[in-house]
Every structure is written in structure tokens, then in C-alpha cells.
């Protein structure tokens, strides 16, 4: 009962602010609305007992990515970001694509047999996640790190060339 109420409230927070993100004409408001969206999703993670992922979600997405987006908006030359149009003339085509995509996703969701693992979650998920990173998922972990490093170096090179 309480869990259902929490789920509905958190989903409502995430969805309403997500709608503001894609409809607001003020680009800063859009960026700031990302925060409640991320926090709503964080709440859903906690409901799923994935508290480590939830903590990382707040730290990286709500605390850092949003600020990065705001920073970029405020440092970009030209335009205040006010009265930005987020839709173009092709409403019909967009609607069609959305309906098809939604139909596909709902179909997949309904057909998937969501497996319910019999085992209980480990008491301490942070340790389990760390172990997975350094054993079974080590390749993905390393490749992701390399990718981030490459984009970091790329960003520095792009920023330097402007001088």
C-alpha cells in the first residue's frame, strides 16, 4: 500500500518535471526541471533496494550533469535561452513516430517474462558492485573508462584550439 503510494508519487514527480523539460520555452527552466526528474528516478531506485545506484544517481546526475548543462547554457554566447521553440512544424510525423515507438515498447514490456530471482539481495550492494566491476564485468568497466578518458582528452584539445 505504502509502496504503491510512494511509487505513484515518485513517478508523478519524475513525469511532470520531464514534461516541463521537453515543453518549457525557457531553457534554464528545462535544465533545472531535470533535477526533480532525476530525484524521482532516484526514489524508484530506492524502492527497488538499489541504494548504491540511487546515491550515484544523485551525485552524478542531479548534482553534476545538471550543473554542467546549466554552465554550458550560461556560458554560451548569443541568445538568452528564453522563448526557445522545442517543437517544429512536423507534429504529425513526430506523433506517428511516438505512437509507433510507444506501441513497440509496450508490446515488449507485455511479452517479456520478467524473471524474479529467488535469492535475496546482498546486504551490502556496494561491495557486490565493486567485485563485479573487477571480475566478471572488468572488460566493460575498462572500456568505459578508456572511452571517458578519450573524450576528456578530446574536450581539452577542442577547448585549446580556440586560443
Partner 1 sequence: MTINWPLEVVKAVLAAVIVFTFLAVIGAMLGVLLERKIGGWIQSRLGPKHVGRQGLLQTVADTIKLLQKEHITPHAADVAIFNTAPLIVAVAGLLDWIVIPFAPGLIVRDLNIGVLFFAAMASLTVVGILAGGFASNNKYALLGGLRSASQMISYELPLAAALIAVAMEAGTLSTVSIVEAQARQGWFVIWQFPAFVIFMIAATAEVNRVPFDLPEAESELVAGYFSEYTGMRFALFQLGEYAEMFAMAALATTLFLGGWKGPILPPLVWFFIKMYAIVFFLMWMRWTYPRLRLDQLLNLSWKLLLPAGLVWILITGYRITF
* Cβ atoms 84, 25 nearer than 8 A: yes
In the bound state with partner 1, the residue whose beta carbon lies nearer, of 12 and 59, is: 59
CB of 126 to partner 1, least distance (A): 6
| CA distance linking residue 57 with residue 16, whole number of Å | 19
CB of 97 to partner 1, least distance (A): 32
In the bound state with partner 1, the residue whose beta carbon lies nearer, of 90 and 144, is: 144
In the bound state with partner 1, the residue whose beta carbon lies nearer, of 101 and 128, is: 128
Q: Which residues of 15-40 are buried (b: 16+ CB within 10 A; e: fewer)?
A: eebbebbeebeebbebbbbbbbbbbb
CB of 101 to partner 1, least distance (A): 31
In the bound state with partner 1, the residue whose beta carbon lies nearer, of 90 and 142, is: 142
**Interacting residues with partner 1 (CB under 8 A):** 1-3, 5-6, 26, 28-29, 32, 35, 51-52, 54-56, 58-59, 62-64, 66-68, 70-71, 74-75, 123-126
Distance of CA 90 to the CA centre of its chain: 26
| CA distance linking residue 64 with residue 67, whole number of Å | 5
Amino acid at each position: 500500500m505504502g509502496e504503491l503510494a510512494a511509487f505513484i508519487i515518485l513517478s508523478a514527480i519524475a513525469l511532470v518535471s520531464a514534461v516541463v523539460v521537453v515543453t518549457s520555452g525557457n531553457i534554464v527552466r528545462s535544465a533545472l526541471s531535470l533535477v526533480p526528474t532525476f530525484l524521482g528516478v532516484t526514489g524508484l531506485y530506492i524502492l527497488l533496494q538499489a541504494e548504491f545506484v540511487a546515491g550515484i544517481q544523485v551525485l552524478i546526475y542531479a548534482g553534476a550533469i545538471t550543473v554542467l548543462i546549466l554552465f554550458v547554457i550560461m556560458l554560451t554566447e548569443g541568445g538568452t535561452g528564453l522563448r526557445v521553440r522545442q517543437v517544429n512544424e512536423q507534429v504529425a510525423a513526430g506523433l506517428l513516430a511516438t505512437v509507433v515507438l510507444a506501441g513497440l515498447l509496450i508490446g515488449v514490456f507485455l511479452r517479456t517474462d520478467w524473471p524474479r530471482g529467488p535469492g535475496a539481495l546482498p546486504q551490502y550492494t556496494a561491495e557486490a558492485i565493486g567485485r563485479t566491476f573487477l571480475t566478471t564485468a572488468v572488460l566493460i568497466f575498462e572500456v568505459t573508462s578508456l572511452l571517458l578518458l578519450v573524450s576528456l582528452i578530446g574536450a581539452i584539445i577542442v577547448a585549446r584550439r580556440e586560443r
